[in-house]
């Protein structure tokens, strides 16, 4: 004998409505959480050769992206040229580099064998930076990896770096709840020091002060002579 109470039509309708809401809302909630938590992130270190260094933390949802795409998503300003099937070459990053024409002709290098150009390297173990022979367009950047770019004519010497180091420099932890997460970058260090003494712009304030002192002294002497006469 079945002692269970029969389900009323009203109760049955309510259960169906709740089930439909769960079916509709659950994928949306899952998508929202997924959008707020990036599946992957990689880092960038850019050495401009003048004391400035940029660090970038770049989130992405793909399994991997190219080195060029990682650089483009960093938010740093850059100029690149296409070499067709060979991929893209980097002419300048944040204003350091060369124009499109010399870049297209010889990747910014001159007749000097040690003239600088943008070199692309990948950290393979702490402080072990290796050039990627096929170029940044052909590389695969995966979660946790760090790429380096150096404006140099000799082999780049970059320090050991972890993704946690970069995340700390750019304060990535403060934005991981954003939807969608965004790339963060910071530039540290100053520009190049003057190579030969001070320029006229540096001496102009001192010259103006000296001129004022000399002028005041000349006026005082003229005033004294005028009074005596």
Buried b (16+ CB within 10 A) or exposed e, 197-220: eeeeeeeeeeeeeeeeeeeeeeee
pLDDT of residue 198: 39
pLDDT of residue 210: 42
8 A C-beta contact, residue 163 and residue 129: no
Q: Which H or E run contains 221?
A: helix 200-228
Question: Distance between CA 167 and CA 104 in Å, rounded?
Answer: 34
Strand 146-152, strand 78-82: pairing: unpaired
pTM over 0.75: no
The distance of Cα 86 from the centroid of its chain, to the nearest Å, equals 24
Q: Which H or E run contains 31?
A: helix 9-36
Structural domains in the chain, CATH included, are 40-188 (2.170.130.30)
What value does the mean pLDDT take over residues 95-113? Answer: 96
Burial of 111 (0-12, 13-18, 19+ CB in 10 A): exposed
What's the pLDDT tens digit per position in 19-33?
554 455 445 444 444
What's the pLDDT tens digit per position in 31-70?
444 445 568 999 999 999 999 999 999 999 999 999 999 9
The distance of Cα 189 from the centroid of its chain, to the nearest Å, equals 14
Evaluate if residue 18 carries a pLDDT over 50.
no
pLDDT of residue 181: 82
What value does the mean pLDDT take over residues 182-200? Answer: 67
Which pLDDT band holds residue 97 (cuts at 50, 70, 90)?
A: very high
Evaluate if residue 190 carries a pLDDT over 70.
yes
Question: Distance between CA 136 and CA 68 in Å, rounded?
Answer: 5
Nearest to 46 by CA among 166, 132, 195, 164: 166
What's the pLDDT tens digit per position in 122-158?
999 999 999 988 899 999 999 999 999 999 999 999 9
pLDDT of residue 200: 37
* Residue 116: both structure tokens together: 């600088």
């Amino acid at each position: 004998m079945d002692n269970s109470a029969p389900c009323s039509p009203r109760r049955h309708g309510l259960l169906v409505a709740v089930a439909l809401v769960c079916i509709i809302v659950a994928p949306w909630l899952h998508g929202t959480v997924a959008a707020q938590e990036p599946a992957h992130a990689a880092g960038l270190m850019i050495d401009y050769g003048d004391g400035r260094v940029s660090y970038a933390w770049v989130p992405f949802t793909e399994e991997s992206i190219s080195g060029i795409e990682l650089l483009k998503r960093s938010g740093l300003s850059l100029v690149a040229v296409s070499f067709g099937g060979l991929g893209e070459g980097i002419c300048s990053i944040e204003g350091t580099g060369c124009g499109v024409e010399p870049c297209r002709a010889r990747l910014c290098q001159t007749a000097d064998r040690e003239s600088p150009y943008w070199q692309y390297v990948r950290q393979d173990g702490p402080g072990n930076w290796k050039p990627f022979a096929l170029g940044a367009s052909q590389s695969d950047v995966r979660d946790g990896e760090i790429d380096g770019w150096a404006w140099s004519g000799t082999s780049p010497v970059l320090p050991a770096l972890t993704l946690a180091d970069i995340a700390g420099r750019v304060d990535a932890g403060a934005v991981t709840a954003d939807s969608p997460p965004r790339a963060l970058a910071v530039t540290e260090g100053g520009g190049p020091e003057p190579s030969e003494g001070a320029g006229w712009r540096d001496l102009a304030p001192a010259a103006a002060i000296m001129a004022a002192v000399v002028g005041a002294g000349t006026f005082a002497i003229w005033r004294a002579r005028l009074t005596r006469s």
